[in-house]
Structure formats: C-alpha cells, structure tokens
Copies of this chain bind each other. A is one copy, B any other.
Amino acid sequence: MTTDHHNPDLPATALAVLGLLSFGPMSGYDLKQAADRSIRHFYWSPAKSQIYAELRRLRGAGLVTEEHVEQETRPDKRVYAITDEGRLKLRAWLNSDNYEPDMHKSTTLLKLFFGNNADLAALIRTLEQDLESKQKMLTELREAEAACKATDPVFTLLTIRAGLAYAGASISWAEETIATLRGLEMTHPGTRKGRNER
C-alpha cells in the first residue's frame, strides 16, 4: 500500500466521478455540469450535494487530490485531480468482469400495465408525452452525434449510438401502442366515461 487508507469497494457513482476526472481536473461545480452533459443520458445525474460527498470520499481514499484555487472575479474553488492510484482503481474497475445488468424504470410502462384501472384517454395522453420525450431525445442525440464526430474519443460516439438505438425503438413502440389504444377507444365507446363502475 502506498497510502495509509485501505480499499473498500467503491460504488459505481464514485467511480463515475473518478472517471470524469480522468478527462482532466475539475471542481465540484464543473463535475456536475460534465455529468449533466454526458453520463446523465445513460447512467444518471447526481445532485450536487452528492457530488461533493463523493469527492470527499475519493479524497479520503487518496484517489483524487484537492487544490484550493483563489480567484479574484469568481468565488474560490477547489479543483480535484485524479491521482495515479485513482487511475489504477478506475482501470481495475473497468477491466473487472463483474457484469451488472442495467436497470430500467419506466413509470409510463407501470401505468400502462395497470391500464385496466385507468381511462383510455388518459393512457393515450401519457403515451403521447412519452413519445414526445423520446423524440426530443432523438433530436438531441443526433445533434450530439454530429457535434462530436472529429476529435473526441470513439467511446463517446458509441454511447450516443446506444441512445439513438434506444430512442428509435421506443418511438416505434409508442406509435404502435397509441394506435392500438385508439383502436380500443373506438370499439369500447363510452366505457368508463366519468362514471364510477362497480
């Protein structure tokens, strides 16, 4: 051991912060923005309070260094940089093959699953909002794809492609499903229209 602290396994969130710092030194504020621009699309975006908490954790484990930077025109900041030990830890995690299946939490699908208890019109409305949100995602990702082309690491592009595939599939599904529900609306007219049955 090069330092006095031992190594309890880090949660993925801490490793995500460490990963972002592998691109270069940043303040907590910078990290929040970097996360919102990148990993929020396929992982998640932490509250800033948690970012600061993770930074303390990483510093305590000797994986990042903290440097106080004074500024005249802006408030002072603390800039964090990944250490050699941090790079090793990051690399060890990336190379380890403990596969974690991804999780997917869709309130829209949850509502649809309980659709028997809902009004069709409301379900359709929810699906339309979902469709809209996925279409927005698609256009944003297309812009991102165009913007990153040249200089960036390949890996950015590959993750964008994953998003594009997902958005595309979601859009087709939502369109079909809306059509199906509209069909039901026609064949069961007047059912559950403001009345409370049973």
Q: Which residue of B lies closest to A88 (CB)?
A: B196
A110 to B18, CA, bound (A): 12
- A97 is an interface residue with CB less than 8 A from chain B: yes
User: Does A104 make an interface contact (CB < 8 A)?
Assistant: yes
CB within 8 Å for A113 and B165 given contacts A102-B104, A107-B12, A126-B97: no
Query: Residues of B contacting A130 with CB < 8 Å?
Result: 99, 102
A60 beta carbon closer than 8 Å to chain B:
no
Q: Which residues of B contact A100 (CB under 8 A)?
A: 107-108
Q: Is A47 an interface residue (CB 8 A)?
A: no
Residues 100-142 of A at the B interface (beta carbon under 8 Å): 100-119, 122-123, 125-126, 129-130, 133
Note all chain B residues with C-beta closer than 8 A to A103. 44, 104-105
Q: Which residues of B contact A158 (CB under 8 A)?
A: 112, 115, 177, 180
A90 beta carbon closer than 8 Å to chain B: yes
Within 8 A of B (CB), among A127-175: 129-130, 133, 153-156, 158-159, 161-162, 165-166, 168-170, 172-173
- The contact of A107 among B102, B156, B168, by CB within 8 Å, is B102
Q: Are B91 and A118 in contact (CB under 8 A)?
A: yes
Contacts A110-B16, A110-B39, A177-B158; A133 near B22 (Cβ below 8 A) = no
Question: A interface vs B, CB < 8 Å?
Answer: 12, 15-16, 19, 22, 38-39, 42-44, 87-88, 90-91, 93-97, 99-119, 122-123, 125-126, 129-130, 133, 153-156, 158-159, 161-162, 165-166, 168-170, 172-173, 176-177, 180, 184, 196, 198
